[in-house]
Amino acid sequence: MLSNEIREKFLRFFEKRGHRVVPSASLVPTDDPSVLFTTAGMQQFKSHFIGLRNAKDDFGSLNLTSSQKCVRTSDIEEVGDKSHLTFFEMLGNFSFDGYWKKEAIEYAYDLITKEIDLKIDYVSVFGGEGNVPEDTESAEIWRSIDPEITIKKFGRSDNFWGPTGEEGPCGPTTEIYIDGIEIWNIVFNEYYQSQDKTLIPLKTKGVDTGMGLERLVKVVQKTETVFETDLFLPIVQVANSRIVADHIRTSCFMITDGITPSNTGRGYVLRRLLRRAYVKNKEINPIIDAIVNHPSYLGLYAFTPNTKEVVALELEKFQKTLDAGLKRIGKGEDPFILFTSYGLPLEIIEEVTSVDKEKFERQMAEHKEKSGVWKE
């Protein structure tokens, strides 16, 4: 199955089971100012999970499903391995007091093993920690479905999700692993975490699941990494780099949602992604073409027509900045000048110079002590 077929199969599976299909929200969250980007499928429903809005009134159903555009940069150094990306699509199904653990787990099992015909390695459940009890109910449900299934128990760092941002809904999870990677995280939102980390039981329990489309496509298509799937291969072949393919794909989606390069916030993330890609491959336009014309996105996502212009303007500025900095280094100045005077991040300086990383980090610490701020 191709990626667009897999995405469609997921959405139709839940639509047939009483879920309303909801379009992806923007990468710029509207209801959660505590985060820069939409990082999970549940973010556009955050107010519904805590009872401020009613899903029945807004969508005509208590049960929803979507394929949500997401950006996460916390694992940016891992991009290029088997499964880590900065942009990904999160397949999810959600319920706001419409159904609970039994139905959520049964849906997941049926979709994975019957509809897509995959074999589950094992599942994990929350083993309890602190004042949050072990999720014995989920374990019992899994055993009732498949008495032979392997169930592993973990604490809060592995099997307790949320909140997005500083506060919000959260709860224990059960996760599905296939071919050694976690592909589906099923969250049972039972609590609201306040800014002081206190957990308060929610009046209305909610189901929130997330499965990365790219990871699912990898296991379905039986590729070594996500970059050999039909979602990425046409882009990687043009980019000649997994990292470049990832960063330019993310940048195209960011620009489409109104983000432009700048020195702060979302714009700064976009700027760093474009610059990291550019130092590895200066031929960016063919990569953009491979993304905006990708069969899995045609008819689903409409990219901004001036994407190339936004990228070209940013990279033209970057090249001038880089040339000016490198000329000074060529005259014997320390590469640290690229950081203090030109604002280039360490990873880019490492790409374009033979910087002594230990010396650089000492200089950066001294700079912080003198200035009182990090200049990034």
Tell whether 227 is covered by a domain.
no
Residues 110, 252 within the same domain? no
Residues 184, 275 within the same domain? no
Residues 241, 205 within the same domain? no
Decide: residue 15, CB within 10 A, 0-12 exposed, 13-18 middle, 19+ buried. middle
Query: pLDDT tens digits for 156-168?
Result: 999 999 787 778 8
Residues 211, 344 within the same domain? no
DSSP 8-state assignment for residue 19: P
CATH code of the domain in which 45 resides: 3.30.930.10
DSSP 8-state assignment for residue 66: E
Instruction: Please indicate whether residue 171 or residue 363 has the higher confidence score (pLDDT).
Output: 171
Residues 329, 351 within the same domain? yes
Tell whether 376 is covered by a domain.
no
Q: How confident is the model at residue 372 (pLDDT cuts 50, 70, 90)?
A: low
Task: Count Cβ atoms below 10 Å from residue 155 Cβ, excluding itself.
Answer: 14
Tell whether 226 is covered by a domain.
no
Asked whether the predicted pLDDT for residue 375 surpasses 50, the reply is: no
Range of the domain at 266: 232-371
What's the number of domains the chain is made of? Answer: 2
Kind of pairing between the strands at 63-71 and 20-21 = parallel
Q: Which of 201, 221, 241 is the last residue of a domain?
A: 221
What is the pLDDT at residue 330? 81
Q: Which of 221, 249, 279 is the last residue of a domain?
A: 221
What is the chain's alpha carbon radius of gyration, rounded to the nearest angstrom?
22
Tell whether 356 is covered by a domain.
yes
Tell whether 46 is covered by a domain.
yes
- Please provide the average confidence, as pLDDT, over all residues in the chain: 92
Residues 84, 211 within the same domain? yes
Query: pLDDT tens digits for 218-253?
Result: 999 999 999 999 999 999 999 999 999 999 999 999
Q: How confident is the model at residue 373 (pLDDT cuts 50, 70, 90)?
A: very low
The amino acid sitting at 219 is V
Tell whether 105 is covered by a domain.
yes
Query: pLDDT tens digits for 92-124?
Result: 999 999 999 999 999 999 999 999 999 999 999
Asked whether the predicted pLDDT for residue 199 surpasses 70, the reply is: yes
Q: How confident is the model at residue 205 (pLDDT cuts 50, 70, 90)?
A: very high
Residues 191, 282 within the same domain? no
What is the pLDDT at residue 374? 38
Residues 190, 241 within the same domain? no
Query: pLDDT tens digits for 256-310?
Result: 999 999 989 999 999 999 999 999 999 999 999 999 999 999 999 999 999 999 9
Residues 288, 153 within the same domain? no
What is the pLDDT at residue 371? 58
Q: How confident is the model at residue 31 (pLDDT cuts 50, 70, 90)?
A: confident
Residues 212, 239 within the same domain? no
Distance CA 13, CA 65 (A): 10
Contact partners, residue 323, CB within 8 Å, separation at least 6 = none
The most distant pair of C-alpha atoms in the chain lies apart, rounded to whole Å, by: 72
Q: Looking at 1-41, list the stretches that DSSP marks H as alpha helix, in order from N- to C-terminal side.
A: 3-15
What is the pLDDT at residue 368? 67
Q: How confident is the model at residue 75 (pLDDT cuts 50, 70, 90)?
A: confident
Tell whether 13 is covered by a domain.
yes
Asked whether the predicted pLDDT for residue 182 surpasses 90, the reply is: yes
Residues 65, 37 within the same domain? yes
pTM of the model: 0.90
Tell whether 360 is covered by a domain.
yes
Query: pLDDT tens digits for 298-354?
Result: 999 999 999 999 999 999 999 998 898 888 888 887 888 887 778 777 778 888 888
Asked whether the predicted pLDDT for residue 59 surpasses 50, the reply is: yes
Q: Which of 221, 244, 259 is the last residue of a domain?
A: 221
What is the pLDDT at residue 94? 98
Residues 319, 216 within the same domain? no
What is the pLDDT at residue 55? 96
